[in-house]
Structure 1
Amino acid sequence: MAADPYAIDAAFYDAIHGDGGDDLDFWLPLVAEHGGPVLEVGAGTGRIALPLARAGHAVTALDPSPAMLAIARQRAGAEGLAVTFLDGRLPGAELPPAAFATVILPNDVFLACASEGEQAAALRAASTLLAPRGRLALDVAGPGHWLDPDDNGEPILAWSGDVGGERLEVWHVRHDDLATQTRRLRIRYQVTGASGQVRQTGSEHLLRYVTLPELASMLDAAGLRVLDTWGDYLLRALTNASERLIVTAELVEGAPGRRVAT
């Protein structure tokens, strides 16, 4: 069994991200418009999956981290929410073909596919899971948050706050490679207790950034037609300064790349 890539991050995720987020006001209306069943890829601790379930949608939450899913299951159980949780990633997850009206990949989840080949394979797999005229939506870092090798190796305080009577600081150290469009991200969690004792732990992740033309080409190869692009969760136009790159696409029946197992 592969090691849990987010076992350490799971313990701090909800403290950092909370129950909400600016993107919820994007995802909830989008799924309401296109309907369910909905598959969330990279569901984590349920920050988006649980509000979708509260809104009455049939939700399947996919994530490669058993630690994250354990928290999500506990939260859903406490509220009596019927969410299907599945440990896995795309491609490779055992999911029924053509079963979902909407597939979403929020908040840089797609970048965790750490090579161009992995990203293309994930989109091909997602296309097989969509029902006829189903919609896929994904949200990644935009042009305004592109890779920046000038900051390589510099510790950046990404988040700080009080958690359970202790002080938590989250430090990021990045190594960006423009040639491969990748970021190796080292995260250090530093907890200072009431007595002043400091505990540290950390994780490391490899992300691959994408441009809109590259992403559009991958979607087309997977049998998905780009419908809309935006630069933020308020649906403003994508520009070179946009912090987000949000894309929605529709399944094109019979298009090259569409392969549904029977």
Structure 2
Amino acid sequence: MLPYSQCSYCNFTYDPWHGDPRNGVPPGVPIDDLAGTVCSRCGLQGVRHQPQMNPKYSGLEATYYDHFAGKSGQSFFHSWLEDTSYEEMPTVLELGSGTGRLGMELAAGSAAYCGVDWSPDMLKIARQKGKRIFKDSFEERMRLIEQNVLQLDTGSLYTHVICPDGLLQHFTYMDQHLQLLENIGRHLKDEGMLALDIVIPPGGEQWTAAQRKRVTFNKLVLKHMEGSTSIAKQLFRYSISYETYVDGLAEPKLHIEREYALITPKEAALMLKIAGFTIISVVENYGLSTPWRTALLPGVNEIQRELKIEESLSEVSLQDRNNQLLPFQQDVWVNGGYPFSGIMPVRSPSAPGIITLLAKKLA
């Protein structure tokens, strides 16, 4: 939910990040601090300003989503479902399923797969894709529901829930975070598994990124991204502009602004504990690297391995088949990952990334 607040009478929108210079309100002043929530435009008082939701993915943004998101996470979630399915094939609920980018890859190995999203344009693409891939068995393979996850009600229980791409962070109030986690808990079987993605934005007050995709031989799409991260507000905001060129000629430009909650893995772990979960493991960038040790809970991801006197490090590495010792890989994370795919490879304390918490619902 954005901090924007809109007057229910005249539709004037107040943005605390930018203030209201016309009426002498400096940037950074929340709507609650304005006396009587006076509307700057119509002057009416009272609780008339209502917080606004992030915009839904629609139109060109939905059309281009898969081009920029790529295949990030598909292999990881496929392996996770296989490794934690126990004696039965998994039944999977994916929240924020969008275009079915993950679902089309995972549904074939699931006894049941349900995707929930509130964007009709994204779900339309998912249905078209599913009918093309699964043909007549699509309705049996996948169930797609248009629904706000804060009012989640699918009428079923699942062994696994996937909450990808920072979906939890689309909501900026803590009560909404807890409500979503409680909704997830109500849809999980006892000892069911949850994979929760936390997006870590680039550090710094201002940052930019750019990508280009050639959709067809004569069609080129450029994506420009500008963002700002505020530790004080515990928010990060970014704007994305899409420029499309067909045969070198520019088509109408698309501009979207979004805001996310800035959540650390520790905060996410505490909220999961409150909601009745226990953390099993924490991975970074879908298992291709290890999170900073300070981001991990005690006892999680701890690998105890001592070298014997007669062993060398190289010998242990050759003998090890459990990936406890990983060889150094330069720039292993290079493709996919929405929205920060263009800047993922940078490995520094201020670099962006995706950290996934794997948790189990307590019986």
State the TM-score, normalized to the length of structure 1.
Answer: 0.85
Cα distance in structure 1, aligned partners of 2:279 and 2:240: 34
Q: Where do 5+ consecutive residues of structure 1 fail to align?
A: 254-262
Distance 1:12 1:116, change over 3 A: same
| SS of residue matched to 1:79 | helix
| Structure 1 counterpart of 2:124, from 59, 65, 70 | 70
Cα distance in structure 1, aligned partners of 2:179 and 2:265: 17
- Deviating runs (4+, > 4 A) in structure 1? none
Letter in 1 for 2:258: H
In terms of fraction of residues, the more strand-rich structure is 1
> Aligned-pair RMSD on alpha carbons?
2.1
Letter in 2 for 1:121: Q
Aligned residue for 1:222? 275
User: In percent, how many aligned pairs have the same letter?
Assistant: 22
Letter in 2 for 1:31: L
Aligned residue for 1:112? 170
Aligned length: 243
Aligned residue for 2:57? 6
Deviation at 1:104, TM superposition (A): 0.7
Cα distance in structure 2, aligned partners of 1:51 and 1:60: 13
Deviation at 1:237, TM superposition (A): 2.5
Instruction: Give the alignment of 1:1-262 within 5 angstroms.
Output: 5-8=56-59, 9-18=61-70, 20-21=71-72, 23-35=73-85, 36-80=90-134, 81=138, 82-96=141-155, 99-142=157-200, 145-151=201-207, 155-157=208-210, 159-164=211-216, 165-234=218-287, 236-239=289-292, 241=349, 243-253=353-363
Cα distance in structure 2, aligned partners of 1:249 and 1:3: 27
Cα distance in structure 2, aligned partners of 1:195 and 1:87: 37
Cα distance in structure 2, aligned partners of 1:110 and 1:57: 26
Aligned residue for 1:257? none
Letter in 1 for 2:168: F
Letter in 2 for 1:246: T
Cα distance in structure 2, aligned partners of 1:156 and 1:29: 31
Letter in 2 for 1:124: E
Distance 1:160 1:237, change over 3 A: same
Larger Cα Rg: Structure 1 or Structure 2?
A: 2
Deviation at 1:60, TM superposition (A): 0.3
| SS of residue matched to 2:151 | coil
State the TM-score, normalized to the length of structure 2.
Answer: 0.63
Give deviations 1:197-228, integer Å, cap 9, x for gaps. 34301222111121122111100111111111
